[in-house]
Structure 1
């Protein structure tokens, strides 16, 4: 039931955001990742910060709000090879982008809140709360003026709210398309 509610909430949030006027959403993303005998597929919507946080002739620090919905599949649930666990994640992360003017290369980084439909227990790593903090960092490239690709590294942890708190790490490939 909890998973159904979380999925419904996440799908409802994404649908509500998608129903906003086109000028309200600045971009959409898809991301695939793997780590700790787990894989995920994530879809997201982005809203740019209203203005850069810092800008000079040599450097620009801006960013975007990232709302995402992901499905995780773990292949060693409760440390049993071949035993699977699927869970849904809804997350909200402010992402900061550092880029030199005129460069196509950028660095994205952020930390946000993520709700999991089930407690993660895979390949000897456990998360004891449904609320997790996701730290993300990525190196990206502007393929076109409207499309970015980034290699991301993510770490999920509950910030020592409750033990066990082994944390989970993922490596992923993220594709972002901006509408404006």
Structure 2
């Protein structure tokens, strides 16, 4: 039920952001794309929606490729399937995130790319699912992924994401996700 409800909320948020895309189409736009993600880990799943803003910078431009990047702001819902290590007990929490992301891509910003980022996340509750625990609301979220941007401005990608507080407070077993992303660029 949680997943279906959050998937509908995610779809509504992405649809609303896409409907408002005309206001972001000006040259001085703040938001460059909207996205939705589905992620799955060990006895946990997540749905997330977000917006990005390109840095409009390029480094190491050579042979039609470049290193660039963007800011990523997101909100996600987590659904743990084994709260306090009790199978069938759910833990639901929210995650607000902000991440700078570096992307190695074609200078046209189309086609295949590889990216990596590390950002900050605030969880609504302390995570305690299966044998994994996070002892702080504040978490770092790092990811690495690959994807493809189509000529019609749609993007698909897959990435691995890890959440941890960096070890500054125990327990900190971390949480890992496999993530699928669909985005639309204005």
Question: TM bucket by the smaller chain?
Answer: 0.7 to 0.9
Residues 45-64 of structure 1 aligned to structure 2 (within 5 Å): 45-64=51-70
Instruction: Point out where structure 2 has 5 or more consecutive residues left out of the alignment.
Output: 1-12
Distance in 2 between residues matched to 1:89 and 1:53, nearest whole Å? 31
Counterpart for residue 96 of structure 1: 102
Runs of 4+ in 1 over 6 A off after TM superposition: none
Counterpart for residue 165 of structure 2: 158
Counterpart secondary structure, 2:89:
coil
Distance in 1 between residues matched to 2:144 and 2:178, nearest whole Å? 10
What is the TM-score with the length of structure 2 in the denominator? Answer: 0.82
Distance in 1 between residues matched to 2:107 and 2:184, nearest whole Å? 20
Query: Any idea what the Cα deviations from partners look like across 1:6-53, whole Å, max 9, x if unmatched?
Result: xxxxx9xxx9xx79x512211101000100201110000000012113
Residues 21-30 or 164-173, more deviating: 21-30
Number of aligned residue pairs:
165
What is the aligned counterpart of 1:105 among 106, 112, 115?
112
Counterpart for residue 177 of structure 2: 170
Q: CA deviation at 1:55?
A: 1.3
Does the CA contact (< 8 Å) of 1:36 and 1:122 recur in 2? no
Q: CA deviation at 1:110?
A: 0.2
Distance in 1 between residues matched to 2:59 and 2:145, nearest whole Å? 19
1:79 counterpart = 2:85: yes
1:40 counterpart = 2:46: yes
Counterpart secondary structure, 1:80:
coil
Distance in 2 between residues matched to 1:29 and 1:166, nearest whole Å? 28
Counterpart secondary structure, 2:167:
coil
Distance in 1 between residues matched to 2:163 and 2:59, nearest whole Å? 26
Counterpart for residue 37 of structure 2: 31
Counterpart for residue 149 of structure 2: 142
Does the CA contact (< 8 Å) of 1:142 and 1:149 recur in 2? yes
Distance in 2 between residues matched to 1:53 and 1:168, nearest whole Å? 32
Counterpart for residue 7 of structure 2: none
Distance in 1 between residues matched to 2:175 and 2:47, nearest whole Å? 16
Instruction: Point out where structure 1 has 5 or more consecutive residues left out of the alignment.
Output: 1-10
1:58/1:50 CA distance change after superposition, 3 Å: closer
What is the TM-score with the length of structure 1 in the denominator? Answer: 0.85
